[in-house]
A and B are shown apart, each in its own frame.
Chain A
Amino acid sequence: MSPRWRTWRLAGIAAAAALLAAAATSAALARSGGTRTSSASDTLVDGTTDSVTNIDPANEYDYGTFTLDLLIFQGLYGFPHSSKLEPVLATGCKTKGTAATWVCTLRRNVKFSDGTPMTSADVKWSFDRVVKIKGDQGIYALLSNLKSVSTNGPYSVTFHLKSPQSTWPFILATNAGYVVPKSLYPADKIRDNSQSQVGSGPYELVKYTPGQQAVFKANPNFWGPKPKTENLIINYYSKSSTMKLALQRGEIDMAFRDFTPTELTSLKTASGITVHSGNGVVIRYLVFNPTRPPTNNIAVRKAIAYLFPRQTIASRVYHGFVQPLYSMVPAGLPGHIDAFKTVYGASPSVAKARAVLKAAGVKTPVAIDIWWTPSHYGDASADEYAEIQRALNSSGLFKVTLKSAEWAQYSASPGKRYNAFQLGWFPDYPDAEDYIVPFYQPDNFMANGYNDPKMTALIKKEYAATSTPARLGVIKQAQMLAAKDVPIIPYWQGKMVAVSRNNVHGIDSTLDAAFNMRFWLLSKS
């Protein structure tokens, strides 16, 4: 062959060899460099499949953004240690006259992470801007009962409500109540994710790469105890299986939200890994439209309630990571009663379902379409609804056709288009009120057309209640009425689950009904 060709060949081989050598050396370097691995004990790396919208608290209303904001912002009230509501940036709030006026005393010596001190001006500014901006994520709806905010000196704030609300401090603990520095956050627009975000929380946000990573460092100006781990990284994943492999390889130290039940079961037996679970407040429920056939016939709804396979779903589909739920108000919250168990029994009963249908003269099998959504609530939704279909069909009383639609199509006023459909809920605040009011009023967000004047009256009574025992009493009545009317069937309550490598400590203390992942309490050994 020609000499030129030979030279080219030799050059090619040499180049390939050089590349390989370079790759090998750099790989070796990467492995040996101690500071490059995630085993550094001053950095905790967490993985999640949640995503983030706007970090500015005036325009975020999803759990992924909430988890991030919780680290850098704080409100007047919160759940800093447990599911017990406690004052955080306030030292206390009291009603003045009626529960339509709340006076709060602010904590002194609180500084934002940029060193500026927090005063009542910042608090008023923060609330005013949420209401003014009316951000498209809709968080301002939580402040719908707020008439105005006034300050009384640098350490006192008064909230004037439209109507009395004894649960107002819970609202102060939601994302709508986070306090931001007046000097940085505009009164009429959102501060973009590309700009720095400053709050008074235990961490400060050092770097944010959308869809990939959020990097935090302990806030040097924090008024409270220092976080147990100096640096925190949250890594965002789109698939839980990739996150699982990363956790098992040690690329991340822990993962919070969301693994599939199969993955969780496998992680339970994986070496070097612990699955932590605690009481949770996320619920799953089936909604009916009680104004259209076949679901307008209460006998049909009751029959489905009698047949509902809660235990099968909890054990076969979710492998014990959820527990059967017998009321819209989850177990663990004050005021919860197992209303559906009382009315329909703890386990499915074909005989009772048949009896109620026969008594109402309904011809069986009843044809019904049940809708669900494939990815928004996790892949296991498919299995969940397959079990519901199996239970209803095998009784011989129903002929269920399952239908699904992607979340973007599914979610807007589903009650207008579907007669029976799946929904899930995580609370704005962990109180029974937030599990009754949004669902059982005539203009609810599901648009299912439910309208029972008795229920509407009960809700009004709950708002006006002056003592906690009275309020909880009304809530119990509402739950029983909800079970008898059965426009919605609640069926499971999820545990709060986090998975970590064995060298991460403190997770168990943060798994409670407040549903806050308190990263500042976690440490690595």
Chain B
Amino acid sequence: MAAPAELRTPLPVSRVLWRGTRRMLAPVAGAGGFAKVMLLVGAGITAFFVLVALLAPVISPYAFDQYSSGGHRFAQLAAPSSGHPMGTTVQSTDVLARVIWGTQTELKVVVVSLAFALAVGVPLGLVSGYFSGPLDRALVLLMDALYAFPYLLLAIVIAFLLSNSIGKGVLTAAIAISGAYIPLYFRVVRNHVISLREEPYVEAARALGARPFTVIRRYVFYNVVQNVPPIATLNAADAILTLAALGFLGYGIQPTEAAEWGYDIQRAVSDAASGIWWTGLFPGLAIVLLVTGLTLLGEGLNETINPVLRRRAVAKFELPAVPPSADIVEP
């Protein structure tokens, strides 16, 4: 028996994406309570940082490694003043400029690492969960072994390996960080796929003769992928903390290539012990603020999309007034 026409002709990609996105974001519109506030505040903070990153060349007073202006060298480790609102560093660079340019670095690393982790973890999880068998077992073992590895150390070792071939740049840091999250996506996606596999509508599609990849693409993928945005934002938040940790331990980005908050804090540790607070406080606050924003966004998404936690904004329903004459039942 041939499959109905609808199942045979593929829809254009743009329509698929639009439908999928609308489906995914539907719960947001209907959410209520603090979840919505968190979502909006988180989105706002994240959007603010994205804007700062995009407009860095325009709004930053100086380049991230600029140490003089108009032939005049900046003072070294100068306290915040009108000329340098956040003070200067030990290399006579402006802290505000480094915080602004650092936003670009952080977001670049986060986006690349997310993309990489998703591109590897999600398809592997889909395939592994749907097809099972020996491939699945092997992958699960491999991922579990990776999971047992302390994530920061995994990131450090990957950074070592890559820095020899592609240098200590954004790409190296991003791949190093994503390596620790691939097992997480794999696990989440695989577990969800396994439970979805047994759903009646999926069984029905298979019975109707749909090929495996069609089934995955149409029925499984959208359901599973709904899990991803909250995890992805929390993943992004973690990625920033990991990048800062790598920078703090000295395995992060080459300081002459870009400004990075973790590296700045590492240099600031010795300043702080000497009473110089501005070189560390501002990058530190930037990290806290951005990670908080991303986490609020993630939590907000989680609350609105996850049906267990969802609280619908229920409109008050007024029962129509019953006319006084109609309710008495005559004996």
Measured CB to CB, the residues of A under 8 A from B are 239-242, 244-245, 260, 262-263, 265-267, 316, 374-375, 379, 382-383, 386, 389-390, 401-406, 409
Residues of chain A with a CB closer than 8 A to B77's CB: 262
Q: How far is the CB of B324 from chain A (nearest CB, A)?
A: 47
Nearest Cβ on chain B to A379's Cβ, whole angstroms: 6
Chain B residue nearest to A312 in the complex (CB):
B73
| Shortest Cβ distance from A404 into B: residue | B254
| A389-B256 in contact (CB<8A) | yes
- Chain B residues in 8 Å Cβ range of A379: 267, 270
A390 near B270: Cβ-Cβ < 8 Å: no
Whether B256 lies near A390 (C-beta < 8 A) is: no
How far apart sit A244 and B272, CA to CA, in the bound complex (Å)?
11
Measured between beta carbons, the chain B residues less than 8 angstroms from A403 are 167, 254
- CB of B255 within 8 Å of the partner chain: yes
Chain B residues near A390 (CB-CB < 8 A): 67
Does B284 sit at the interface, judged by CB under 8 A?
no
Chain B residues, CB < 8 A from A375: 250
> Known interface pairs A383-B90, A403-B254. Does A265 touch B274 (Cβ–Cβ under 8 Å)?
yes
Contact A262–B90 (Cβ < 8 Å): yes
Q: Provide the B215-258 mask, 1 if CB < 8 A to any CB of A, else 0.
A: 00000000000000000000000000000000000110011100
Among B90, B251, B256, contact of A402 (Cβ-Cβ < 8 Å): B256
Cβ distance B317 to chain A, nearest Cβ, rounded Å: 37
B83 shortest CB reach to chain A, Å: 19
B90–A263 touching, CB < 8 Å: no
User: In the assembly, what is the distance between CA of A242 and CA of B272, in Å?
Assistant: 11
**Measured CA separation A409–B250 after assembly (Å):** 14
In the complex, which residues of chain A have a beta carbon less than 8 angstroms from the beta carbon of B276? 262
Pair A404/B168 contact, Cβ less than 8 Å? yes
Q: What 9 pairs across the A-B complex have the smallest Cβ distances?
A: A266-B274, A241-B273, A402-B256, A260-B270, A244-B273, A241-B270, A241-B269, A383-B91, A386-B91
Complex Cα distance, B274 from A239, in Å, reads: 14
Tell me whether A386 and B256 are in contact in the complex, defined as CB-CB below 8 angstroms, given that A244-B273, A265-B274, A406-B160 are known contacts. Answer: yes
Chain B: which residue is nearest A260 at the CB level? B270
Query: At the interface, is chain A mostly helix, strand, loop or mixed?
Result: helix
A480 CB to nearest chain B CB (Å)? 35
Count of chain A to chain B residue pairs whose CB atoms are closer than 8 Å in the complex: 61
For chain B residues 260-296, which have a beta carbon within 8 Å of chain A? 267, 269-276
Contact check, A374 vs B250: say whether CB atoms are below 8 A apart.
yes
Taken together as a complex, chains A and B put the C-alpha atoms of A266 and B273 apart, in Å, by: 9
Residue contacts A-B, CB under 8 angstroms, 25 given: A240-B270, A241-B269, A241-B272, A241-B273, A242-B273, A244-B274, A245-B273, A260-B270, A262-B77, A262-B270, A262-B276, A263-B273, A266-B275, A267-B274, A316-B76, A374-B250, A375-B250, A383-B91, A386-B91, A389-B256, A402-B256, A403-B167, A405-B163, A405-B168, A409-B160
Query: Using Cβ atoms and an 8 Å threshold, which residues of chain A touch B76?
Result: 316
Residue of B nearest to A248 (CB): B273
Complex formed: what's the CA distance from A402 to B92 in Å?
18
The verdict on B164 contacting chain A, using a C-beta distance below 8 Å, is yes
A-B contacts besides A262-B77, A403-B167, 4 pairs, CB < 8 Å:
A244-B274, A386-B67, A402-B254, A406-B160
Partner of A263, one of B167, B168, B255, B274: B274
* A382: chain B residues within 8 A (beta carbon): 91, 255, 267
In the docked arrangement, what's the CA distance between A260 and B272, Å?
12
Shortest CB-to-CB span from A357 to chain B, Å, is 24
Across the two chains, which residue of chain A brings its CB closest to B89?
A383
Measured between beta carbons, the chain B residues less than 8 angstroms from A265 are 274
- Interface of B, helix, strand, loop or mixed by DSSP: loop
Contacts of A409 in B (CB 8 A): 160, 163-164
A382 to B255, CA, bound (A): 8
> In the complex, what residue of chain B is closest to A266 when comparing beta carbons?
B274
CB contact list, B133-152 vs A, under 8 A:
none
Chain B residue nearest in CB terms to A374: B250
Q: What B residues does A389 contact at CB under 8 A?
A: 256
On chain B, the residues within 8 Å of A242 by CB distance are 273
Please name the residue on chain B nearest to A405 by beta carbon.
B163
Residue of A nearest to B77 (CB): A262
Chain A residue numbers with a CB within 8 Å of B274 are 244, 262-263, 265-267
Q: Which residues of A contact B273 (CB under 8 A)?
A: 241-242, 244-245, 263, 266
Question: Nearest chain A CB to B63's CB is how many angstroms away?
Answer: 13
Please give the distance in Å from A48's CB to the nearest CB on chain B.
16
Instruction: Give the shortest distance, in Å, between B276 (CB) and chain A (any CB).
Output: 7
Q: Mark B27-48, 1 if CB is under 8 A from A, else 0.
A: 0000000000000000000000
Q: Are A262 and B271 in contact (CB-based, < 8 A)? A: yes
Chain B residues in 8 Å Cβ range of A266: 273-275
CA–CA, A383 and B93, complex, Å: 11
Instruction: Give the distance in Å from the alpha carbon of A262 to the alpha carbon of B256 in the complex.
Output: 20
Residues of B within 8 A of A267 (CB): 274
Contact residues in A for B164 (Cβ distance below 8 Å): 409
**For the complex, what is the distance from the CA of A119 to the CA of B273, rounded to whole Å?**
51
Bound form: Cα–Cα A140–B67 in Å: 47
Chain B positions 75 through 87: 1 when the CB is less than 8 Å from some CB of chain A, otherwise 0: 0110000000000
**B272 neighbours in A (Cβ, 8 Å):** 241
CB distance from A350 to the nearest CB of B (A): 15
Are A406's CB and B250's CB within 8 A?
yes
Q: How far, in Å, is B8 (CB) from chain A's closest CB?
A: 57
Q: How far is the CB of A317 from chain B (nearest CB, A)?
A: 8
Nearest to B73 among chain A residues (CB) is A316
Q: Which residue of B lies closest to A408 (CB)?
A: B160
Q: Which residue of A lies closest to B76 (CB)?
A: A316
CA distance A244 to B161 in the complex (A): 34
CA distance A267 to B275 in the complex (A): 11
Which residue of chain A has the shortest Cβ distance to B256 in the bound complex? A402
Compute how far the CA of A403 lies from the CA of B164 in the bound complex, rounded to whole angstroms: 12
Kindly report which residue of chain B lies nearest to residue A402, judged by CB atoms.
Answer: B256
Residue on A nearest B272 in the bound complex, by CB:
A241
Which residues of the partner chain B approach A374 to less than 8 Å between Cβ atoms? 250
* CB closest residue in chain A, given B159: A406
Closest approach, in angstroms, between the C-beta of B170 and any C-beta of chain A?
15
Q: Which residues of the partner chain A approach B255 to less than 8 Å between Cβ atoms?
A: 382, 404
Which of A240, A244, A404 has the most chain B CB atoms inside 10 A of its CB?
Answer: A404
The complex places the Cα of A188 from the Cα of B255 at a distance, in Å, of: 46
> Nearest Cβ distance between residue B120 and chain A, in whole angstroms?
27
How far does the alpha carbon of A266 sit from the alpha carbon of B90 in the complex, in Å? 13
Chain B: minimal CB distance from A373 (Å): 10
Q: Choose among B90, B92, B160, B164 the residue with the greatest number of A CB atoms under 10 Å from its CB.
A: B90
Question: What is the bound-complex CA distance between A263 and B268, given in angstroms?
Answer: 11
Chain A neighbourhood of B251, CB < 8 A: 406
- Name the residue of chain A whose CB is nearest to the CB of B274: A266
**Minimum C-beta distance from B11 to chain A (A):** 50
In Å, the complex CA distance between A12 and B65 comes to 56
Smallest Cβ distance from B14 to chain A, in angstroms?
A: 44
Residues on B with C-beta less than 8 A from A383 are: 90-91
Q: How far is the CA of A266 from the CA of B67 in the complex (A)?
A: 23
Chain B 48-73 interface mask (CB, 8 Å, partner A; 1/0): 00000000000000000101000000
Nearest-neighbour CB distance to chain B for A474, whole angstroms, equals 41
- Which of chain A's residues have a CB closer than 8 A to the CB of B275? 266
Smallest beta-carbon distance A386→chain B, Å: 5
Docked-complex contact B270 and A263, CB < 8 angstroms: yes
* Nearest CB of B to A348, in Å: 15
Cβ of B257 to closest chain A Cβ, rounded Å: 9
- The residues of A that contact B92 with a CB separation of less than 8 Å are 316
Question: Are A239 and B269 touching (Cβ within 8 A)?
Answer: yes
Nearest-neighbour CB distance to chain B for A403, whole angstroms, equals 7
CA distance A402 to B167 in the complex (A): 12
